[in-house]
Amino acid sequence: MVEAFRVIGGREIDGILEVEGSKNAALPIMIATLIETGTYVLKNVPNLMDIRTLVKLLESLGLEIERLDLNTYKIVNKGLTNLVAGYELVKKMRASFLVMGPMLAHCKKAKVSLPGGCAIGARPVDLHLKGFEALGTKITIDHGYVEAQTDELIGGKIILDFPSVGATENIVMAAVKAKGITILENAAREPEIIDLCNFLNKMGAKIDGIGTGTLKIEGVEKLYPCEHTIIADRIVAGTFIIAAVIFDGKVRVKGVIKEHLEAFLLKLQEMGVRYKIEGDTLAVLSKLSDIRGVKVTTMPYPGFPTDLQSPIMTLMCLAKGSSEIKETIFENRFMHVPELNRMGAKIDINGNIATIKGIENFSSAEVMASDLRAGASLILAALKAEGESVVNRIYHVDRGYENLSLKLKSIGANIERIKVDI
């Protein structure tokens, strides 16, 4: 037996949805505590399956982790007792591969299983490994494991072929204790990377160019543990804002950082969405009937985020006219399209381009989440559709949305977790 969501759609939802801390910021920051011994306190950590998986991995490497409350962790690094990150834990979550950079910084040695995660494309780790080699690390790959070893990390110039978030994070975490200066060109610029770099600088690292495509990292011999509050999750915020549009502005979204969502908000405005932000709370002022089709191309930050591609596709299905999405980041990120089509959507795929024709409403159906964000898009559709829908494989959703069903129930949604046969 596994869990699914049963959704009785077509009901009005009305109230405030609060955005949790960013999963994609919390994971690398928790991992960065491997770099230096001491006691860390991290606040606003989302209560997610991925976080719990990472805690097990970090504990397996020797860290002592205590949960002080639902969203606060105390992490004590007394020195690493194990330098092998095993397959059983790493396979569950791609971000686990980020332990390699900090382990090299701390111990000059690491052995890490090749990663797993959502089935949205190949996402190879070659950019990570090229970066480590440029810092003087010898890399060998054998029996599904990457082994890295160095006598000393030496700063150097690294130019990424693609602004990979993971590679940027991994290389930066290694470089903060490398001898000399590292220049990382074509670095990713996501807010989650800014949060990681700010955390490392709070520890005593010397990183310049934060938020730009060129990072200059001057290695230091010693870092110091600190306390840090994780930024709000921009992808959860975007998902909730789409829910607000679908339900005629009756949903308000608290925890919005506007500058993290500029490309997304501009695209919503192009669709006809009007909104206002007071403090960190966004309210939609327009009706769903005002929304028209647009073209979207996913791009590295600050472009339109690939993680909001599937949720905005659900909105496009309900927009007037036709829309188009060009996916340029991941090759398998249209796996939710057949499921939306099962719910009455009219979506055609040609290579990496999806064409969406507007419909009046979704019809209820049993569907399956193929990845984390796909699951969110199907839940949005099920909330709007009349009748009962079942969304299977919700373990994907649990990886990235904190207590989603409880949050939705609190504003009037009829959604519950059920057990189903595989």
Write down the domain spans for the chain. 2-20+232-420, 23-229
pLDDT single digits (tens) 108-158: 999 999 885 444 345 579 999 999 999 999 999 998 899 999 999 999 999
pLDDT tens digit string along 313-364?
Answer: 999 999 999 999 999 998 778 999 999 999 999 999 999 999 999 999 999 9
pLDDT at res. 26:
98
Cα-based torsion angle of the residue sequence 128, 132, 138, 144 in order, rounded to the nearest 10 degrees: -20
Known binding residue 356? Answer is: no
403 is in an annotated binding site: no
Ligand-binding site membership of 52 (annotated): no
Residues 371 and 400: beta-carbon distance below 8 Å: no
Identical fold, 2-20+232-420 and 23-229: yes
The two tokens of residue 361 are: 């409403």
| DSSP assignments along 245-263, one per residue | HHTTT-EEEES--GGGSHH
- The pLDDT value given to residue 190: 98
Q: Are 94 and 166 in contact (CB under 8 A)?
A: yes
pLDDT at 15 exceeding the cut of 80:
yes
Share of the chain above pLDDT 90, in %: 92
For residue 183, give the H/E element and its range.
strand 181-185
CATH topology of domain 23-229: UDP-n-acetylglucosamine1-carboxyvinyl-transferase; Chain (3.65.10)
Cα of 230 vs its chain's centroid, Å: 13
Contact 272, 293 (CB under 8 A): no
pLDDT at site 381: 98
Burial of 200 (0-12, 13-18, 19+ CB in 10 A): buried
Is 126 marked as binding a ligand? yes
Catalytic residue among 107, 118, 226, 317: 118
Q: What angle do CA 206, 258, 394 make, to 5 degrees?
A: 95
2 known ligand binder: no
**Is residue 389's pLDDT more than 50?**
yes
Task: Write the single-letter amino acid at 253.
Answer: V
Query: What residues does 6 pair with on adjacent strands?
Result: 390, 416
- Rounded distance, CA 124 to CA 166, Å? 10
| Chain segment 232-244, per-residue pLDDT in tens | 999 999 999 999 9
Question: Is 307 annotated as belonging to a binding site?
Answer: yes
Q: What is the pLDDT of residue 120?
A: 38
Least confidently predicted of 63-77, 105-119, 360-374: 105-119
Question: Mean pLDDT over all residues of the chain?
Answer: 96
125 in a known ligand binding site: yes
Residue 317 annotated in active site:
no
Determine the Cα–Cα distance for residues 310 and 292; give it in Å rounded to an integer.
Answer: 17
Percent of the chain with pLDDT over 70: 98
Look at the domain 2-20+232-420 and name its fold: UDP-n-acetylglucosamine1-carboxyvinyl-transferase; Chain (3.65.10)
Q: Which H or E run contains 60? A: helix 49-60
Sheet holding 109-113, edge to edge: 84-85, 109-113, 145-149, 138-142
**pLDDT tens-digit profile of 145-196?**
999 999 999 999 999 999 999 999 999 999 999 999 999 999 999 999 999 9
Q: pLDDT-based confidence at 288, cuts 50/70/90?
A: very high
Q: Classify 324 as helix, strand or coil.
A: strand
Binning pLDDT at 50, 70 and 90, where does residue 421 land? confident
Residue tagged 């976080």 (tokens): 51
Neighbours of 139 (CB within 10 A): 15
**Predicted pLDDT at 116:** 58
Look at the block and give the residue holding tokens 């405005």.
269
What pLDDT score was predicted for residue 237?
98
Question: Is 261 annotated as contributing to ligand binding?
Answer: no
Q: Which two tokens stand for residue 140?
A: 């060998």
| Cβ atoms of residues 407 and 242 within 8 Å | no
Give the pLDDT band of residue 91 (cuts 50, 70, 90): confident
Does 287 carry a binding-site annotation?
no
Q: Is 69 annotated as a binding residue?
A: no
Terminal-residue alpha carbon distance, the chain:
6
Dihedral, CA of residue 378, residue 379, residue 382 and residue 383, to nearest 10: -150
Grouping H, G, I as helix, E, B as strand and the rest as coil, residue 148 is strand
| Residues 23-38: tens digit of each pLDDT | 999 999 999 999 999 9
